[in-house]
Structure 1
Amino acid sequence: MAEALTVGSPPIEVRIRRNQRARRLVLRVGCARSGPTLTLPPGVSTAAARTFLHDHEAWLRSHLGQSRQSVAVRDGTLLPFGDGEIRIVAAPDGRPRLEGDLLMIPGRPADLPVRAGAFLREAARAACVAAVARHAPALGHRAGRISLRDPRARWGSCTSAGDLMFSWRLVLAPAAVLDYVVAHEVAHLAEMNHSPRFWARVRALCPDYGRQRAWL
C-alpha cells in the first residue's frame, strides 16, 4: 500500500513518494484521479514531511479549489508567492506591504485574512496586467477589460469581445505558470479555439508552454 499522510480538517490525503535523486521536498497537486503528491529526498523523515504539509496547507487547499473559508490564513501562515514563499505577519501599523519574504498586515487579527487576500489579489492583478501588456502587442492585438476572480474550474478566460479574466490564485503559482496562462488567453484574441493555429500562437509567446501547462 502506498505511503500517505493527511493534513488539515477536512483532511486532505497526500501520497508520499520517496526519490533517491530528489534534492528538495516537492508538493504537486496532480490530477483529480491521482491527487496530491509530496516527493521526499533521501534522509527526510515522515515527521518532517508532516510539518512541511502543515506549513503548505493553505497553498494546497487553494490549488485543490476548496473554499477560501477552509484555508486558515493567520499570523505565521506560509504561502507560495510567485517563485518563492511569503509568510503572513501581523504588523502593528502601516499599510499591507512586502518586506523581503514577509507580508506585513496591519490591523486587527480578525481582519488579517481579508486584508491579506486583498493584497494578494492586487498583486495578481498587477502581474496579469503586465503580462497582457507584453503578450498582446506581440500578436498585434489589443485586450479589452481585465478582471480577477476566483473561479472553481478554470485559470482564465477570454470573451469574444476581448475581455480577459484570470484567477487571482495565479499569484500563488510559479511566475512562468502565470505567464503561460496569460499567454494562453491572449492567444484567444487571435484564435477563439484550440486549433493548431491557436497552439502555434501560444508557442510563439511561451515556447516552453508544455512544462507550464503540465504544472496546472
Structure 2
Amino acid sequence: MPLVPFSITPVEEAEPVVVAGMQTTIIWRKNERARRVALRIDPQAGRIVITLPPRGSRQAGLALLRGHESWVAERLASLPPALVIADGNEIPVFGQPHRIVHDVRARGGAVIETPVIRVSGHPDFLARRVRDMLRDLAFREFSAMARRMAAQFHARPGEVRIKDTRTRWGSCTADGTMMFSWRLIMAPRFVQHYVVAHETAHLRHMNHGPDFWTLVETLTPHRAEAAGWLRREGPGLLRIS
C-alpha cells in the first residue's frame, strides 16, 4: 500500500465514513507534490488521512480505502484511548507517570514535583501550561543532548526546534536544523537518547546507509530497544492532548 509522510497543507476537508461497521472520519488532503493517492492513519486524532495528488480523485481515494478496509479497521481499533491533559489525570514524563494537580495556591505555571505536575492559574489554561512546560523541558534536554553527541565527531547542530508532529519523532535538515516532537519528553530517557542520536548522526550522513547506522550505534547503545518501544508505546503518546 502506498504511504507518504504526513505534511500540513491548507487544502483539506473532513468527511464522515463507515469502515467495517465503525463510524470514523476521513481527512482529505490535496498535496501538490504527491504523485499518487496515499492512505494513512492519524494516530493522534484517530482518523483516516487520504492524500490526493493534484489530479487525484476522491473516487480513487475511496477505492484505496475499501481495498485496505480490514487493515484500516484493525489500526483504528488498536489505537490506545485518548488521554486529555486535565486535573487528576496522569501523563508520563521521562517514562514515569506524573499526576496533574491544579493548585490555586501555586505559582509559576506548571512545575514538575515528581511524581506530580503542579499547575497554577485559571483551570481553563491548565492544559496549555502543561504543554508549554513540557515543550520547554524538551528543548533544554534535547538541545543539550544533541550538542554533547555532535561534539563526539566534531560537529555542531544548528537550530533546535520543538514541534507537535504526528509521524516523526525527530528530523534533521541539510543545514543542521533539528526538530523533535515535544511528546518525546514523555518517553523514557533511553528512547530520547536514541532519537536524538539518530538525528545527530544526520549531521554527518544525510542518508540511512551503513555509515549512518554505524555512527548511530557509536552514539547510543539503545537503537533496538528504543525502536521497539516506539513501535509499541509511541501511539499512546500521540493520543495525549
Please say whether Structure 1 and Structure 2 have the same fold, judged by a TM-score greater than 0.5: yes
1:186 aligns with 2:200: yes
| Segments ≥4 residues shifted beyond 2 Å | 31-36
Identity of aligned residues (%): 36
Matched, 1:35 2:78: yes
Match of 2:107 among 82, 86, 94: 94
Q: Of 154, 178, 189, which aligns to 1:140?
A: 154
Unaligned runs of 5+ in 2: 1-44, 48-73, 231-241
Deviation at 1:32, TM superposition (A): 4.9
Does residue 201 of the first structure (1) align with residue 215 of the second (2)?
A: yes
Q: Aligned residue pairs: how many? A: 158
Q: Secondary structure at the match of 1:139?
A: coil
Root-mean-square deviation (CA), in Å? Answer: 2.3
CA deviation after TM superposition for structure 1 residue 33, in Å: 8.8
Q: Structure 1 residues 125-134 or 163-172, which shifts more?
A: 125-134
2:89 to 50, 53, 77: 77
Partners in 2 of 1:35 and 1:131 — Cα distance?
33
Are 1:109 and 2:152 an aligned pair? no
CA distance in 2 between counterparts of 1:90 and 1:127 reads 25
TM-score (norm 1): 0.68
Name the structure 1 match of 2:187: 173
Q: Pick closer, same or farther for the CA change 1:147–1:101 going to 2, 3 Å.
A: same
Question: What secondary structure, in the 3-state scheme, does the structure 1 residue paired with 2:168 have?
Answer: coil
Structure 1 residue aligned with 2:132, among 84, 103, 118?
118
Under a length normalisation based on structure 2, what TM-score does the superposition of the two structures give? 0.61
Aligned to 2:16: none
1:138 & 1:34 partners in 2: Cα distance? 44
Where does residue 163 of structure 1 map in the other structure?
177
For 1:113-161, what per-residue CA distance to the aligned partner results, in whole angstroms no more than 9, with x for missing partners? Answer: 1111111111111111121122110121110000000111111110100
Offset of 1:101 from its aligned partner?
1.0
By how many angstroms is 1:35 displaced?
3.3
C-alpha separation between the residues in 2 aligned to 1:199 and 1:173?
22
8 Å contact kept, 2:150–2:156: yes
Higher RCO (C-alpha under 8 Å, 6+ residues apart) = 2
Q: Which of the numbers 226, 231, 234 marks the counterpart of 1:212?
A: 226
Larger radius of gyration: 2
